[in-house]
Amino acid sequence: MATNARQRLLDAAEKLFYAEGIQAVGLERLLAESEVGRASFYRHFASKDDLVVAMLSNYDEAYRTWLAERTTALGGTPIAAFDALIEYAETSGFRGCAFINAIAEVAEPDSQIRAMANQHKEAVVDYLRLLLAEAGYPDDTDLARQLLLLMDGAAVTELYERSDRAARQAKTMALAILER
């Protein structure tokens, strides 16, 4: 079981931090959930922040893979990315964007967690630029950023509305932007 300690820590961190928040979950709880000892934790991570960065890095890869697969399955257009967001918002475990949630808990502007979130958002912008280009729109970073802004705004709004209404409205707004 010790050989899987790092992965168990990452899995427990993703589950707990996404559901309850980074600050709300202490190290003892994380160790108990992952069934990893304190010494093993520190063999793999220098601090809780290092664990958060590693967890977000894994989450980034998994999220972008999921987004590309679902977007392709739903038609492969920029608007299909909104359909994927609508599907995600309809799941019972939806708690918004893990990266927005993480940076909301981090006060330091130059933290590794904020840098990881920024890298994630830039990668999503690049993906949206690709979708736009494939759909015949000009290569426009500003347009891709507008779409991401709509997606992020919908994800935050859905947290307090507890419905997919915001994602559906964001999709309608994205259609209007792309039609102009």
For the chain, give every residue range classified as CATH 1.10.10. 1-45
pLDDT score recorded for residue 163: 74
Q: Which CATH architecture has domain 1-45?
A: Orthogonal Bundle (1.10)
Closest CA to 57 of 128, 121, 124, 117: 117
CATH superfamily, domain at 47-179: Tetracycline Repressor, domain 2 (1.10.357.10)
Q: Is the distance from CB of 82 to CB of 151 less than 8 angstroms?
A: yes
Half-sphere exposure in the Cβ direction for 128 (13 Å, CA): 24
pLDDT score recorded for residue 3: 59
pLDDT score recorded for residue 92: 67
CB atoms within 10 A of CB 45: 19
Distance CA 146, CA 42 (A): 41
Distance CA 27, CA 16 (A): 11
pLDDT score recorded for residue 1: 45
Q: What is the mean pLDDT of each run of 10 residues along the chain (180 residues)?
A: 80 91 92 92 92 92 94 95 90 82 86 91 96 89 94 89 85 93
For the chain, give every residue range classified as CATH 1.10.357.10. 47-179
Q: Is the distance from CB of 156 to CB of 89 less than 8 angstroms?
A: no
